[in-house]
Structure 1
Protein backbone atom coordinates (compact mmCIF):
# COMPACT_ATOMS: atom_id res chain seq x y z
CA UNK A 1 0.00 0.00 0.00
CA UNK A 2 1.22 3.51 -0.70
CA UNK A 3 2.21 5.79 2.11
CA UNK A 4 -0.67 8.23 1.57
CA UNK A 5 -2.91 8.52 4.63
CA UNK A 6 -6.30 7.26 3.43
CA UNK A 7 -8.05 9.36 6.08
CA UNK A 8 -6.81 12.44 4.19
CA UNK A 9 -7.35 10.98 0.72
CA UNK A 10 -11.00 10.07 0.02
CA UNK A 11 -10.10 8.51 -3.34
CA UNK A 12 -7.64 6.15 -1.69
CA UNK A 13 -10.10 5.36 1.10
CA UNK A 14 -12.78 4.41 -1.44
CA UNK A 15 -10.30 2.11 -3.18
CA UNK A 16 -9.37 0.43 0.08
CA UNK A 17 -13.06 -0.20 0.81
CA UNK A 18 -13.40 -1.65 -2.69
CA UNK A 19 -10.44 -3.98 -2.05
CA UNK A 20 -11.88 -5.14 1.28
CA UNK A 21 -15.23 -5.92 -0.36
CA UNK A 22 -13.55 -7.71 -3.24
CA UNK A 23 -11.50 -10.00 -0.97
CA UNK A 24 -14.55 -10.70 1.19
CA UNK A 25 -16.56 -11.71 -1.88
CA UNK A 26 -13.86 -14.15 -2.99
CA UNK A 27 -14.06 -16.09 0.29
CA UNK A 28 -17.79 -16.70 0.01
CA UNK A 29 -18.81 -20.30 0.71
CA UNK A 30 -18.45 -22.49 -2.39
CA UNK A 31 -17.24 -19.52 -4.42
CA UNK A 32 -14.66 -19.48 -7.21
CA UNK A 33 -11.74 -20.35 -4.93
CA UNK A 34 -13.34 -23.71 -4.09
CA UNK A 35 -13.44 -25.13 -7.65
CA UNK A 36 -11.68 -28.50 -7.84
CA UNK A 37 -12.83 -30.00 -11.17
CA UNK A 38 -14.57 -29.39 -14.50
CA UNK A 39 -15.94 -32.39 -16.40
CA UNK A 40 -18.18 -32.81 -19.45
CA UNK A 41 -21.10 -35.19 -19.05
CA UNK A 42 -21.27 -38.21 -21.33
CA UNK A 43 -24.32 -39.63 -23.09
CA UNK A 44 -24.30 -42.77 -20.94
CA UNK A 45 -24.32 -42.98 -17.13
CA UNK A 46 -20.70 -42.69 -16.05
CA UNK A 47 -18.68 -42.17 -12.90
CA UNK A 48 -16.89 -38.82 -12.59
CA UNK A 49 -13.93 -37.63 -10.57
CA UNK A 50 -14.48 -36.33 -7.04
CA UNK A 51 -18.27 -36.92 -6.88
CA UNK A 52 -20.42 -39.98 -6.16
CA UNK A 53 -23.14 -41.27 -8.49
CA UNK A 54 -23.49 -41.84 -12.21
CA UNK A 55 -23.82 -38.76 -14.41
CA UNK A 56 -25.10 -38.39 -17.98
CA UNK A 57 -26.93 -36.20 -20.48
CA UNK A 58 -29.14 -36.73 -23.50
CA UNK A 59 -28.35 -33.23 -24.73
CA UNK A 60 -31.62 -31.79 -23.46
CA UNK A 61 -31.28 -32.62 -19.76
CA UNK A 62 -28.62 -33.76 -17.29
CA UNK A 63 -29.24 -36.84 -15.15
CA UNK A 64 -27.76 -38.12 -11.91
CA UNK A 65 -28.36 -41.60 -10.52
CA UNK A 66 -27.29 -42.34 -6.95
CA UNK A 67 -28.30 -44.37 -3.90
CA UNK A 68 -29.06 -42.72 -0.55
CA UNK A 69 -25.95 -44.23 1.18
CA UNK A 70 -23.73 -42.26 -1.23
CA UNK A 71 -24.70 -39.14 0.70
CA UNK A 72 -25.80 -36.83 -2.12
CA UNK A 73 -28.58 -34.35 -1.32
CA UNK A 74 -30.25 -31.63 -3.39
CA UNK A 75 -28.88 -28.17 -2.55
CA UNK A 76 -32.26 -26.47 -2.83
CA UNK A 77 -34.27 -28.82 -0.60
CA UNK A 78 -31.78 -31.01 1.29
CA UNK A 79 -33.66 -34.06 0.02
CA UNK A 80 -31.47 -37.17 -0.42
CA UNK A 81 -30.82 -38.40 -3.96
CA UNK A 82 -32.08 -41.99 -4.04
CA UNK A 83 -32.67 -42.96 -7.66
CA UNK A 84 -32.46 -40.67 -10.68
CA UNK A 85 -32.88 -36.89 -10.73
CA UNK A 86 -32.67 -34.58 -13.74
CA UNK A 87 -32.29 -30.88 -14.52
CA UNK A 88 -32.47 -28.72 -17.64
CA UNK A 89 -30.48 -25.54 -18.25
CA UNK A 90 -30.24 -22.97 -21.02
CA UNK A 91 -26.83 -22.17 -22.51
CA UNK A 92 -24.56 -20.27 -20.08
CA UNK A 93 -26.81 -21.12 -17.11
CA UNK A 94 -25.51 -22.78 -13.95
CA UNK A 95 -27.19 -24.57 -11.07
CA UNK A 96 -25.78 -25.45 -7.66
CA UNK A 97 -27.39 -28.87 -7.87
CA UNK A 98 -26.27 -31.42 -5.27
CA UNK A 99 -23.97 -31.55 -2.26
CA UNK A 100 -22.13 -34.12 -0.14
CA UNK A 101 -19.28 -34.71 2.32
CA UNK A 102 -18.09 -33.28 5.60
CA UNK A 103 -19.79 -33.35 8.97
CA UNK A 104 -22.82 -31.48 7.67
CA UNK A 105 -23.04 -33.12 4.24
CA UNK A 106 -22.27 -29.78 2.55
CA UNK A 107 -18.49 -29.77 2.15
CA UNK A 108 -18.71 -30.21 -1.62
CA UNK A 109 -21.32 -28.64 -3.87
CA UNK A 110 -21.65 -29.89 -7.45
CA UNK A 111 -22.50 -27.18 -9.96
CA UNK A 112 -24.29 -28.19 -13.13
CA UNK A 113 -23.45 -25.93 -16.07
CA UNK A 114 -24.40 -25.57 -19.72
CA UNK A 115 -21.45 -24.29 -21.75
CA UNK A 116 -21.17 -24.15 -25.55
CA UNK A 117 -24.42 -26.11 -25.75
CA UNK A 118 -23.07 -29.00 -23.67
CA UNK A 119 -23.59 -30.07 -20.05
CA UNK A 120 -20.70 -30.05 -17.62
CA UNK A 121 -20.31 -30.36 -13.87
CA UNK A 122 -17.90 -28.64 -11.50
CA UNK A 123 -17.09 -29.59 -7.92
CA UNK A 124 -16.76 -26.83 -5.34
CA UNK A 125 -14.97 -28.03 -2.21
CA UNK A 126 -14.91 -25.77 0.86
CA UNK A 127 -11.71 -27.55 1.98
CA UNK A 128 -9.82 -26.71 -1.23
CA UNK A 129 -6.30 -25.49 -0.32
CA UNK A 130 -6.75 -22.51 -2.67
CA UNK A 131 -9.76 -21.45 -0.57
CA UNK A 132 -8.44 -22.25 2.91
CA UNK A 133 -5.05 -20.64 2.19
CA UNK A 134 -6.39 -17.44 0.62
CA UNK A 135 -5.32 -14.19 2.30
CA UNK A 136 -6.23 -11.61 -0.33
CA UNK A 137 -5.38 -10.83 -3.95
CA UNK A 138 -2.03 -9.06 -4.44
CA UNK A 139 -2.38 -5.63 -6.03
CA UNK A 140 -0.29 -2.77 -7.33
CA UNK A 141 -0.14 0.36 -5.18
CA UNK A 142 -2.92 2.84 -5.82
CA UNK A 143 -2.22 4.98 -8.90
CA UNK A 144 -4.26 8.21 -8.99
CA UNK A 145 -2.91 8.92 -12.49
CA UNK A 146 -4.68 5.79 -13.76
CA UNK A 147 -8.10 7.07 -12.75
CA UNK A 148 -9.04 8.20 -16.25
CA UNK A 149 -11.97 10.11 -17.68
CA UNK A 150 -13.14 8.27 -20.80
CA UNK A 151 -15.78 8.99 -23.41
CA UNK A 152 -18.33 6.31 -24.26
CA UNK A 153 -19.21 6.07 -27.94
CA UNK A 154 -22.23 3.75 -28.27
CA UNK A 155 -22.85 1.63 -31.36
CA UNK A 156 -26.19 2.07 -33.16
CA UNK A 157 -26.94 -1.55 -32.15
CA UNK A 158 -25.03 -4.07 -30.01
CA UNK A 159 -22.57 -6.22 -31.96
CA UNK A 160 -22.00 -9.87 -31.03
CA UNK A 161 -18.28 -10.66 -31.41
CA UNK A 162 -17.08 -14.31 -31.23
CA UNK A 163 -14.34 -14.78 -28.61
CA UNK A 164 -12.38 -17.56 -26.95
CA UNK A 165 -12.54 -18.42 -23.26
CA UNK A 166 -10.22 -19.81 -20.60
CA UNK A 167 -11.37 -23.29 -21.66
CA UNK A 168 -10.20 -24.04 -25.22
CA UNK A 169 -13.26 -26.25 -25.76
CA UNK A 170 -15.69 -23.44 -24.98
CA UNK A 171 -16.32 -20.51 -27.31
CA UNK A 172 -17.94 -17.29 -26.17
CA UNK A 173 -19.69 -14.17 -27.41
CA UNK A 174 -18.85 -10.58 -26.43
CA UNK A 175 -21.87 -8.31 -26.87
CA UNK A 176 -20.15 -5.02 -27.63
CA UNK A 177 -22.40 -2.01 -27.03
CA UNK A 178 -19.82 0.65 -27.88
CA UNK A 179 -16.30 1.85 -27.16
CA UNK A 180 -14.58 3.66 -24.34
CA UNK A 181 -12.18 6.27 -25.79
CA UNK A 182 -9.42 7.69 -23.60
CA UNK A 183 -5.75 8.60 -23.23
CA UNK A 184 -3.23 7.26 -20.74
CA UNK A 185 -0.36 9.10 -19.01
CA UNK A 186 2.74 9.34 -21.19
CA UNK A 187 1.08 7.86 -24.26
CA UNK A 188 0.81 9.89 -27.45
CA UNK A 189 -2.17 8.09 -28.94
CA UNK A 190 -5.81 7.48 -28.10
CA UNK A 191 -7.08 4.10 -26.89
CA UNK A 192 -10.43 2.49 -27.68
CA UNK A 193 -11.82 -0.49 -25.78
CA UNK A 194 -15.02 -2.32 -26.68
CA UNK A 195 -17.41 -2.51 -23.74
CA UNK A 196 -20.27 -4.73 -22.61
CA UNK A 197 -23.30 -3.37 -20.77
CA UNK A 198 -24.05 -4.69 -17.31
CA UNK A 199 -26.88 -4.05 -14.86
CA UNK A 200 -28.29 -0.52 -14.62
CA UNK A 201 -26.27 0.64 -17.62
CA UNK A 202 -22.83 0.02 -16.11
CA UNK A 203 -20.04 -0.90 -18.54
CA UNK A 204 -17.34 -3.58 -18.35
CA UNK A 205 -14.22 -3.85 -20.48
CA UNK A 206 -12.05 -6.96 -20.67
CA UNK A 207 -8.51 -6.14 -21.76
CA UNK A 208 -4.94 -7.23 -22.33
CA UNK A 209 -1.99 -5.01 -21.43
CA UNK A 210 1.79 -5.31 -21.41
CA UNK A 211 1.98 -6.56 -17.82
CA UNK A 212 0.09 -9.78 -18.72
CA UNK A 213 2.07 -12.94 -18.08
CA UNK A 214 4.65 -10.97 -16.11
CA UNK A 215 3.00 -9.43 -13.06
CA UNK A 216 -0.67 -9.88 -14.02
CA UNK A 217 -2.87 -12.66 -15.35
CA UNK A 218 -3.37 -13.12 -19.11
CA UNK A 219 -6.25 -10.62 -19.09
CA UNK A 220 -8.33 -8.60 -16.62
CA UNK A 221 -11.52 -6.57 -16.55
CA UNK A 222 -12.62 -3.22 -15.18
CA UNK A 223 -16.11 -1.79 -14.76
CA UNK A 224 -17.48 1.74 -14.81
CA UNK A 225 -20.71 3.35 -13.70
CA UNK A 226 -23.41 4.19 -16.24
CA UNK A 227 -22.15 6.94 -18.57
CA UNK A 228 -23.11 10.50 -17.64
CA UNK A 229 -25.49 12.44 -19.89
CA UNK A 230 -22.49 13.84 -21.78
CA UNK A 231 -21.16 10.31 -22.40
CA UNK A 232 -18.20 10.51 -20.03
CA UNK A 233 -17.29 7.88 -17.46
CA UNK A 234 -14.54 7.37 -14.91
CA UNK A 235 -12.34 4.44 -15.93
CA UNK A 236 -10.41 3.52 -12.78
CA UNK A 237 -7.74 0.94 -13.59
CA UNK A 238 -7.03 0.59 -9.87
CA UNK A 239 -10.25 -1.42 -9.87
CA UNK A 240 -9.07 -3.82 -12.58
CA UNK A 241 -9.76 -7.33 -11.31
CA UNK A 242 -8.97 -10.89 -12.30
CA UNK A 243 -11.48 -13.25 -13.78
CA UNK A 244 -12.12 -16.48 -11.83
CA UNK A 245 -9.83 -18.31 -14.28
CA UNK A 246 -6.89 -16.52 -12.63
CA UNK A 247 -7.64 -18.45 -9.44
CA UNK A 248 -8.64 -21.84 -10.86
CA UNK A 249 -7.93 -23.93 -13.97
CA UNK A 250 -11.63 -24.85 -14.09
CA UNK A 251 -13.07 -21.54 -15.26
CA UNK A 252 -14.68 -20.76 -18.63
CA UNK A 253 -14.08 -17.00 -18.45
CA UNK A 254 -14.31 -14.83 -21.58
CA UNK A 255 -11.17 -13.55 -23.28
CA UNK A 256 -10.94 -9.97 -24.56
CA UNK A 257 -12.12 -9.18 -28.06
CA UNK A 258 -9.26 -8.93 -30.55
CA UNK A 259 -8.93 -5.14 -30.41
CA UNK A 260 -8.98 -4.81 -26.61
CA UNK A 261 -5.19 -4.96 -26.24
CA UNK A 262 -3.34 -1.97 -24.82
CA UNK A 263 0.28 -1.32 -25.83
CA UNK A 264 0.77 0.06 -22.34
CA UNK A 265 1.71 -1.25 -18.89
CA UNK A 266 -1.36 -0.98 -16.65
CA UNK A 267 0.47 -1.23 -13.35
CA UNK A 268 -2.70 -0.87 -11.31
CA UNK A 269 -5.35 -3.19 -9.98
CA UNK A 270 -4.99 -6.87 -9.25
CA UNK A 271 -1.81 -8.85 -9.90
CA UNK A 272 -1.42 -12.52 -10.82
CA UNK A 273 -2.50 -14.46 -7.72
CA UNK A 274 -0.22 -17.43 -8.48
CA UNK A 275 -2.49 -19.90 -6.72
CA UNK A 276 -2.11 -22.92 -9.04
Structure 2
Protein backbone atom coordinates (compact mmCIF):
# COMPACT_ATOMS: atom_id res chain seq x y z
CA UNK A 1 0.00 0.00 0.00
CA UNK A 2 3.05 2.27 0.35
CA UNK A 3 2.09 5.80 -0.59
CA UNK A 4 3.71 7.65 2.29
CA UNK A 5 7.26 8.78 2.93
CA UNK A 6 9.80 6.00 3.62
CA UNK A 7 10.22 4.82 7.18
CA UNK A 8 12.53 6.82 9.41
CA UNK A 9 15.46 5.16 11.16
CA UNK A 10 13.70 5.70 14.51
CA UNK A 11 10.51 3.97 13.25
CA UNK A 12 12.50 1.01 11.94
CA UNK A 13 14.50 0.71 15.13
CA UNK A 14 11.36 0.72 17.29
CA UNK A 15 9.75 -1.90 15.04
CA UNK A 16 12.84 -4.12 15.08
CA UNK A 17 12.91 -3.90 18.88
CA UNK A 18 9.22 -4.87 18.97
CA UNK A 19 9.89 -7.85 16.65
CA UNK A 20 12.86 -9.05 18.73
CA UNK A 21 10.78 -8.91 21.93
CA UNK A 22 7.89 -10.68 20.25
CA UNK A 23 10.03 -13.58 18.97
CA UNK A 24 11.75 -13.91 22.34
CA UNK A 25 8.39 -14.08 24.16
CA UNK A 26 7.09 -16.74 21.77
CA UNK A 27 10.19 -18.88 22.33
CA UNK A 28 9.71 -18.95 26.12
CA UNK A 29 9.98 -22.24 28.04
CA UNK A 30 6.59 -24.00 28.18
CA UNK A 31 5.17 -21.19 26.03
CA UNK A 32 2.70 -21.32 23.16
CA UNK A 33 5.14 -23.07 20.81
CA UNK A 34 5.38 -26.07 23.16
CA UNK A 35 1.73 -27.25 23.10
CA UNK A 36 1.53 -30.92 22.11
CA UNK A 37 -2.04 -31.89 23.08
CA UNK A 38 -5.48 -30.66 24.19
CA UNK A 39 -7.63 -33.30 25.89
CA UNK A 40 -11.01 -33.09 27.64
CA UNK A 41 -11.23 -34.91 30.97
CA UNK A 42 -13.79 -37.71 31.42
CA UNK A 43 -16.00 -38.39 34.45
CA UNK A 44 -14.34 -41.80 35.09
CA UNK A 45 -10.63 -41.86 36.08
CA UNK A 46 -8.91 -42.53 32.74
CA UNK A 47 -5.47 -42.62 31.16
CA UNK A 48 -4.74 -39.74 28.78
CA UNK A 49 -2.26 -39.39 25.94
CA UNK A 50 1.34 -38.36 26.72
CA UNK A 51 0.87 -38.06 30.52
CA UNK A 52 1.08 -40.69 33.29
CA UNK A 53 -1.65 -41.09 35.92
CA UNK A 54 -5.44 -41.32 35.86
CA UNK A 55 -7.38 -38.12 35.21
CA UNK A 56 -11.04 -37.25 35.77
CA UNK A 57 -13.54 -34.53 36.63
CA UNK A 58 -16.93 -34.45 38.36
CA UNK A 59 -17.72 -31.20 36.52
CA UNK A 60 -16.66 -28.99 39.44
CA UNK A 61 -13.22 -30.35 40.34
CA UNK A 62 -10.42 -31.99 38.36
CA UNK A 63 -8.69 -35.00 39.92
CA UNK A 64 -5.38 -36.75 39.23
CA UNK A 65 -4.26 -40.05 40.77
CA UNK A 66 -0.63 -41.09 40.28
CA UNK A 67 2.07 -43.06 42.04
CA UNK A 68 5.60 -41.96 42.91
CA UNK A 69 7.00 -44.11 40.08
CA UNK A 70 5.01 -42.05 37.53
CA UNK A 71 7.50 -39.22 38.05
CA UNK A 72 4.93 -36.41 38.29
CA UNK A 73 5.67 -33.42 40.53
CA UNK A 74 3.71 -30.28 41.35
CA UNK A 75 4.88 -27.28 39.31
CA UNK A 76 4.45 -24.90 42.24
CA UNK A 77 6.33 -26.81 44.92
CA UNK A 78 8.24 -29.60 43.16
CA UNK A 79 6.60 -32.15 45.51
CA UNK A 80 6.08 -35.62 44.03
CA UNK A 81 2.50 -36.67 43.27
CA UNK A 82 1.88 -39.91 45.18
CA UNK A 83 -1.84 -40.50 45.61
CA UNK A 84 -4.79 -38.33 44.57
CA UNK A 85 -4.75 -34.55 44.12
CA UNK A 86 -7.47 -32.19 42.92
CA UNK A 87 -7.89 -28.61 41.68
CA UNK A 88 -10.81 -26.30 40.98
CA UNK A 89 -10.88 -23.55 38.33
CA UNK A 90 -13.36 -20.99 37.04
CA UNK A 91 -14.24 -20.82 33.32
CA UNK A 92 -11.33 -19.50 31.20
CA UNK A 93 -8.83 -20.04 34.03
CA UNK A 94 -5.65 -22.13 33.64
CA UNK A 95 -3.22 -23.73 36.09
CA UNK A 96 0.27 -25.02 35.31
CA UNK A 97 -0.37 -28.03 37.52
CA UNK A 98 2.13 -30.91 37.24
CA UNK A 99 5.35 -31.67 35.36
CA UNK A 100 7.48 -34.63 34.33
CA UNK A 101 10.16 -35.85 31.90
CA UNK A 102 13.62 -34.82 30.78
CA UNK A 103 16.82 -34.89 32.82
CA UNK A 104 15.41 -32.62 35.55
CA UNK A 105 11.77 -33.77 35.50
CA UNK A 106 10.42 -30.48 34.13
CA UNK A 107 10.51 -31.03 30.36
CA UNK A 108 6.71 -31.31 30.09
CA UNK A 109 4.27 -29.14 32.03
CA UNK A 110 0.62 -30.21 32.18
CA UNK A 111 -1.72 -27.21 32.13
CA UNK A 112 -5.17 -27.72 33.61
CA UNK A 113 -7.71 -25.47 31.89
CA UNK A 114 -11.42 -24.81 32.09
CA UNK A 115 -12.92 -23.96 28.70
CA UNK A 116 -16.64 -23.80 27.87
CA UNK A 117 -17.24 -24.83 31.52
CA UNK A 118 -15.44 -28.15 30.95
CA UNK A 119 -12.05 -29.33 32.24
CA UNK A 120 -9.24 -30.07 29.80
CA UNK A 121 -5.50 -30.56 29.97
CA UNK A 122 -2.83 -29.28 27.61
CA UNK A 123 0.71 -30.63 27.51
CA UNK A 124 3.54 -28.14 27.06
CA UNK A 125 6.72 -29.94 25.98
CA UNK A 126 9.96 -27.98 25.66
CA UNK A 127 11.28 -30.58 23.19
CA UNK A 128 8.45 -29.81 20.72
CA UNK A 129 9.95 -29.23 17.25
CA UNK A 130 7.68 -26.18 16.86
CA UNK A 131 9.83 -24.58 19.59
CA UNK A 132 13.22 -26.18 18.92
CA UNK A 133 13.09 -25.27 15.19
CA UNK A 134 11.61 -21.78 15.71
CA UNK A 135 13.66 -18.94 14.27
CA UNK A 136 11.15 -16.08 14.31
CA UNK A 137 7.76 -15.31 12.75
CA UNK A 138 7.87 -14.22 9.10
CA UNK A 139 6.54 -10.69 8.60
CA UNK A 140 5.94 -8.12 5.90
CA UNK A 141 8.55 -5.39 5.60
CA UNK A 142 7.81 -2.36 7.77
CA UNK A 143 5.51 0.00 5.85
CA UNK A 144 4.80 3.45 7.31
CA UNK A 145 1.66 3.65 5.14
CA UNK A 146 0.07 1.15 7.54
CA UNK A 147 0.45 3.47 10.55
CA UNK A 148 -3.06 4.95 10.58
CA UNK A 149 -4.81 7.62 12.63
CA UNK A 150 -8.27 6.89 13.97
CA UNK A 151 -10.61 7.60 16.86
CA UNK A 152 -12.00 5.53 19.69
CA UNK A 153 -15.73 5.72 20.36
CA UNK A 154 -16.29 4.22 23.82
CA UNK A 155 -19.57 2.53 24.74
CA UNK A 156 -21.33 3.78 27.90
CA UNK A 157 -20.88 0.22 29.28
CA UNK A 158 -18.94 -2.80 27.93
CA UNK A 159 -21.01 -5.13 25.73
CA UNK A 160 -20.47 -8.91 25.75
CA UNK A 161 -20.60 -10.24 22.19
CA UNK A 162 -20.70 -14.04 21.60
CA UNK A 163 -17.88 -15.24 19.33
CA UNK A 164 -16.40 -18.50 18.05
CA UNK A 165 -12.85 -19.63 18.88
CA UNK A 166 -10.11 -21.69 17.24
CA UNK A 167 -11.64 -24.78 18.89
CA UNK A 168 -15.10 -25.54 17.41
CA UNK A 169 -16.19 -27.03 20.77
CA UNK A 170 -15.40 -23.83 22.70
CA UNK A 171 -17.53 -20.70 22.42
CA UNK A 172 -16.10 -17.38 23.49
CA UNK A 173 -17.18 -13.91 24.55
CA UNK A 174 -15.70 -10.62 23.33
CA UNK A 175 -16.14 -7.83 25.87
CA UNK A 176 -16.40 -4.85 23.53
CA UNK A 177 -15.60 -1.54 25.23
CA UNK A 178 -16.20 0.52 22.09
CA UNK A 179 -15.23 0.86 18.44
CA UNK A 180 -12.12 2.15 16.71
CA UNK A 181 -13.05 4.13 13.61
CA UNK A 182 -10.53 4.88 10.86
CA UNK A 183 -10.05 5.21 7.13
CA UNK A 184 -8.00 2.87 4.94
CA UNK A 185 -6.84 3.94 1.46
CA UNK A 186 -8.88 1.97 -1.08
CA UNK A 187 -11.91 1.53 1.20
CA UNK A 188 -14.71 4.03 0.36
CA UNK A 189 -16.28 3.96 3.83
CA UNK A 190 -14.97 4.35 7.37
CA UNK A 191 -13.88 1.07 8.99
CA UNK A 192 -15.30 0.30 12.44
CA UNK A 193 -13.76 -2.43 14.58
CA UNK A 194 -14.85 -3.64 18.03
CA UNK A 195 -12.12 -3.26 20.63
CA UNK A 196 -11.42 -4.98 23.96
CA UNK A 197 -9.67 -3.39 26.94
CA UNK A 198 -6.00 -4.24 27.46
CA UNK A 199 -3.69 -3.33 30.34
CA UNK A 200 -2.98 0.35 31.10
CA UNK A 201 -5.80 1.68 28.94
CA UNK A 202 -4.59 0.10 25.69
CA UNK A 203 -7.08 -1.57 23.31
CA UNK A 204 -6.95 -4.93 21.56
CA UNK A 205 -8.48 -5.30 18.09
CA UNK A 206 -9.00 -8.76 16.55
CA UNK A 207 -9.66 -8.53 12.81
CA UNK A 208 -10.02 -10.24 9.46
CA UNK A 209 -8.58 -8.89 6.21
CA UNK A 210 -8.15 -10.04 2.62
CA UNK A 211 -4.70 -11.60 3.22
CA UNK A 212 -6.20 -14.20 5.63
CA UNK A 213 -5.67 -17.82 4.60
CA UNK A 214 -3.28 -16.71 1.87
CA UNK A 215 -0.20 -14.97 3.26
CA UNK A 216 -1.54 -14.59 6.81
CA UNK A 217 -3.41 -16.73 9.33
CA UNK A 218 -7.24 -16.78 9.37
CA UNK A 219 -7.29 -13.72 11.65
CA UNK A 220 -4.86 -11.51 13.56
CA UNK A 221 -4.85 -8.89 16.30
CA UNK A 222 -3.23 -5.53 16.91
CA UNK A 223 -2.83 -3.72 20.22
CA UNK A 224 -3.63 0.00 20.02
CA UNK A 225 -1.98 2.29 22.61
CA UNK A 226 -4.22 4.13 25.07
CA UNK A 227 -6.40 6.72 23.29
CA UNK A 228 -5.37 10.37 23.66
CA UNK A 229 -7.68 12.65 25.73
CA UNK A 230 -9.53 13.68 22.53
CA UNK A 231 -10.18 10.00 21.68
CA UNK A 232 -7.70 9.86 18.80
CA UNK A 233 -5.63 6.69 18.40
CA UNK A 234 -2.81 5.33 16.26
CA UNK A 235 -3.24 1.89 14.68
CA UNK A 236 0.09 0.46 13.58
CA UNK A 237 -0.72 -2.62 11.50
CA UNK A 238 3.01 -3.36 11.24
CA UNK A 239 2.46 -4.63 14.79
CA UNK A 240 -0.38 -6.99 13.83
CA UNK A 241 0.41 -10.38 15.35
CA UNK A 242 -0.85 -13.94 15.20
CA UNK A 243 -2.81 -15.62 17.95
CA UNK A 244 -1.22 -18.80 19.39
CA UNK A 245 -3.67 -20.86 17.28
CA UNK A 246 -1.59 -19.87 14.21
CA UNK A 247 1.28 -21.95 15.64
CA UNK A 248 -0.58 -24.83 17.26
CA UNK A 249 -3.82 -26.79 16.73
CA UNK A 250 -4.30 -26.84 20.53
CA UNK A 251 -5.26 -23.20 21.09
CA UNK A 252 -8.71 -21.89 22.03
CA UNK A 253 -8.06 -18.38 20.72
CA UNK A 254 -10.91 -15.91 20.13
CA UNK A 255 -12.08 -15.20 16.59
CA UNK A 256 -13.02 -11.65 15.58
CA UNK A 257 -16.47 -10.28 16.29
CA UNK A 258 -18.68 -10.71 13.21
CA UNK A 259 -18.02 -7.75 10.93
CA UNK A 260 -14.56 -6.96 12.36
CA UNK A 261 -13.14 -7.02 8.84
CA UNK A 262 -10.99 -4.74 6.72
CA UNK A 263 -11.95 -5.30 3.07
CA UNK A 264 -8.45 -4.85 1.62
CA UNK A 265 -5.14 -6.72 1.78
CA UNK A 266 -3.48 -5.55 5.01
CA UNK A 267 0.05 -6.38 3.88
CA UNK A 268 1.68 -5.51 7.20
CA UNK A 269 2.58 -7.36 10.37
CA UNK A 270 2.98 -11.10 10.90
CA UNK A 271 2.51 -13.66 8.14
CA UNK A 272 1.63 -17.35 8.39
CA UNK A 273 4.24 -19.13 10.52
Both structures adopt the same fold (TM-score exceeding 0.5): yes
What is the deviation of 1:237?
0.2
Aligned to 1:207: 207
User: Is this contact kept in 2: 1:146–1:185, CA < 8 A?
Assistant: no
**2: CA distance between counterparts of 1:212 and 1:69?**
47
Aligned to 1:227: 227
**2: CA distance between counterparts of 1:15 and 1:171?**
34
What is the aligned residue count?
Answer: 269
**1: CA distance between counterparts of 2:243 and 2:72?**
30
Q: Segments of 4+ in structure 1 off by > 4 A?
A: none
**2: CA distance between counterparts of 1:5 and 1:125?**
42
What is the deviation of 1:216?
0.1
**1: CA distance between counterparts of 2:68 and 2:238?**
49
What is the deviation of 1:150?
1.0
Q: Secondary structure at the match of 1:19?
A: helix
User: Is this contact kept in 1: 2:42–2:57, CA < 8 A?
Assistant: yes
- 1:181 matched to 2:175? The reply is no
Could you tell me which runs of 5 or more consecutive residues in structure 2 were left unpaired when the two chains were aligned: none
**1:84-163 to 2 correspondences below 5 Å:** 84-163=84-163
- 1:40 matched to 2:40? The reply is yes
Relative distance call for 1:5 and 1:195 in structure 2 (3 A) is: closer
Could you tell me which runs of 5 or more consecutive residues in structure 1 were left unpaired when the two chains were aligned: none
What is the deviation of 1:5?
10
**1: CA distance between counterparts of 2:15 and 2:185?**
20
Relative distance call for 1:169 and 1:249 in structure 2 (3 A) is: same
Relative distance call for 1:5 and 1:263 in structure 2 (3 A) is: closer
**1: CA distance between counterparts of 2:246 and 2:114?**
21
**2: CA distance between counterparts of 1:15 and 1:187?**
26
Aligned to 1:64: 64
User: Is this contact kept in 2: 1:145–1:185, CA < 8 A?
Assistant: no
User: Is this contact kept in 2: 1:57–1:119, CA < 8 A?
Assistant: yes
Aligned to 1:83: 83
**1:244-263 to 2 correspondences below 5 Å:** 244-263=244-263
User: Is this contact kept in 1: 2:37–2:122, CA < 8 A?
Assistant: yes
**2: CA distance between counterparts of 1:12 and 1:150?**
22
What is the deviation of 1:187?
2.6
**1: CA distance between counterparts of 2:187 and 2:9?**
27
**2: CA distance between counterparts of 1:129 and 1:111?**
19
**1: CA distance between counterparts of 2:187 and 2:93?**
41
Q: Secondary structure at the match of 1:156?
A: strand
What is the deviation of 1:185?
2.2
- 1:30 matched to 2:44? The reply is no
**2: CA distance between counterparts of 1:173 and 1:187?**
28
What is the deviation of 1:12?
1.2
**1: CA distance between counterparts of 2:253 and 2:269?**
18
**2: CA distance between counterparts of 1:204 and 1:96?**
25
What is the deviation of 1:188?
2.3
**2: CA distance between counterparts of 1:220 and 1:32?**
16
Quote the RMSD (CA, aligned, Å).
1.2
**1: CA distance between counterparts of 2:143 and 2:6?**
14
Aligned to 1:166: 166
**2: CA distance between counterparts of 1:250 and 1:153?**
35
**2: CA distance between counterparts of 1:69 and 1:5?**
62
